[in-house]
Amino acid sequence: MRILGDMAMVAWYAGEPGVTKLLNTEPFFLEDLIDTGDIVRPANTVVH
């Protein structure tokens, strides 16, 4: 997820991000997102 002002670009994956296929990327308002406790990683972070 990338934070862009009061919005976030959320990437949807088939499973674990970086391991499975990217399904879609959509913008969401931050107030509409549900806090799952997941850590928001910077866009340039490599997931392995």
Residue 39, helix vs strand vs coil = coil
15-26 residue pLDDT tens:
888 888 999 999
Q: For residue 10, what are the domain limits? A: 2-32
| Residue 46 belongs to a domain | no
More confident residue, 3 or 6: 6
Q: Is residue 12 part of a domain?
A: yes
> What is the pLDDT, as a whole number, of residue 43?
62
For the chain, what is the mean pLDDT? Answer: 77
Q: How many domains does the chain fold into?
A: 1
| Residue 16, in any domain of the structure | yes
**Any domain includes 6:** yes
Residue 35: what pLDDT? 72
SS3 27: strand
Whether the CB-CB separation of 30 and 6 falls below 8 Å is answered with yes
pTM of the model: 0.50
